[in-house]
Structure 1
Amino acid sequence: METNAMRTRGIGELLGLARERAVPVVRGIEDAALAAATPCAEYDVRALVNHLFQVVVQFQRLAVKQDSDFGATADVVAEGPDWRERLVRETDRLVAAWSAPGAEEGTTGAMDMPARLVGSMALLDLTVHAWDLARATGQVFPGADDAVVAELAGAVAELAPTARRMGMFGAPVPVPDGASAFERLLAQTGRAPGGEPGGGE
């Protein structure tokens, strides 16, 4: 008999779990915190929100095998005070796009990568950047669901060499004995869960 632990969860379902952790963080960002530094060296809170919005929208396109555009990043925050709810709505659309039949099949993106791995990249950004934003704005992040961490551990191991060469991940950060699986995952992307930010996007 199949159990939840044995079942391979779809990317759409995993994104839904990540959404539940990310949405309260987005809604909890105060305007006064938009200029605060984040664990991503290149981004303050405002820039990271804009980056995450771009990711969430463009990965919807990748789910349906359309071309994506990660060029210029729009300043969504400047477009009106409802930017938080706009980001929440786009995250809902991201979950729906990757939950649709066929989203994980074949390849997608300019590099023709396996679609499930591309979906895992969206999952990684949503999860890790929610943590970044929580830390930058003084919020408590509850951690990621075990199934999300398990999926991302494999994806990060596969993506890390290229991501580090491109500056998307920082160098791995040592973690103490007893660190959680999520803390170990953050450390592999160059983030220091219990200390100073380690860098990376």
Structure 2
Amino acid sequence: MKKISELLEAAADRAVLVVDGISDAGLGDTTPCAEYDVRDLINHLFQVVVNFQILAAKGEADFGETPKFVTDDWRARFREETAKLVVAWDAPGAEDGTTGAMGLPARTVGNMVLGDLTVHAWDLARATGQEFVPDESVLNEIGPALAAMAPMAREAKVFGEAYPVPEGAGPFERVLALTGRDPGWRPPRA
């Protein structure tokens, strides 16, 4: 079994490519997450990346109001923060015990951020006309992990109701549908 930090490194590499490909002109575009435009989703993803660094160190994270990260050189800061996330989850003991206010197993919490980084990278890629294919080892980890978390995530309104997918849907399409996303979502065009 791969360490969460190794999986996060693979996921972060792909997410950074997507974030680097977002133009400032597209920050107001819609995303598969109805409550977020591109700018809001980047701010949310920054908040996740920063807070899960704290959770890796067994600290208490604050997911209250979302700070405004999309200022100045936000693409470089995203690279820096995802690198810090990988380092935080590589620290001795990061995957041991429990973490966070809910007292969840640390590896479960690591899978949460791994799922967010991967699924939101897809959201941003799809919203901005980019291609996104998750790392296979990441997909192999988050598929069963997110399936196990789905009932709790739906109750907490983090996941929507599962989206129906046709028989023969691929593993990533099934993960997206599990989180309430339409894997075929495309941005509306004027």
2:165 alignment counterpart:
175
The C-alpha deviation readout for 1:86-137, integer Å capped at 9, x for no partner, is 0110000001111112100000000111000000001011000000000011
Provide the rounded CA distance (Å) in 2 between the counterparts of 1:157 and 1:125: 14
Structure 2 counterpart of 1:36, from 10, 26, 29: 29
**Partner of 1:179: helix, strand, or coil?**
coil
CA offset digits 1:9-42 (Å, max 9, x no partner) = 0100000110121111000000110000111111
Q: Which moved more, 1:176-185 or 1:53-62?
A: 176-185
Alignment correspondent of 1:72: 65
Report the Cα offset of residue 149 of structure 1.
1.2
TM-score by length of 1: 0.89
Length, aligned pairs only: 187
Kindly provide the amino acid, as one letter, of the partner of residue 170 in structure 2.
S
Give the Å deviation of 1:195: 3.9
Alpha-carbon distance in 2 for matches of 1:32, 1:55: 24
- 1:52-90 deviations in Å (ceiling 9; x for gaps): 00100000000011111111111111x31x001101100
User: Is 1:114 paired with 2:119?
Assistant: no
CA contact (8 A) 2:159 2:179 kept: yes
Structure 1: gaps of 5 or more residues:
1-7
Note the C-alpha offset of 1:196. 6.0
2:78 to 87, 94, 102: 87
The one-letter amino acid of 1:95's match is V
Q: Runs ≥4 in structure 1, deviation > 3 angstroms?
A: none
Measured on the aligned residues, the alpha-carbon RMSD in Å equals: 1.2
Tell me which residue corresponds to 2:134. 144
Partner of residue 97 from structure 1, selected from 88, 97, 114:
88
Partner Cα distance (2:87, 2:185) in 1: 36
Cα shift readout 1:142-161 (whole Å, capped 9, x = no counterpart): x1122211211222122111
Does residue 56 of structure 2 align to residue 56 of structure 1? no
Give the unaligned 5+ runs of structure 2: none
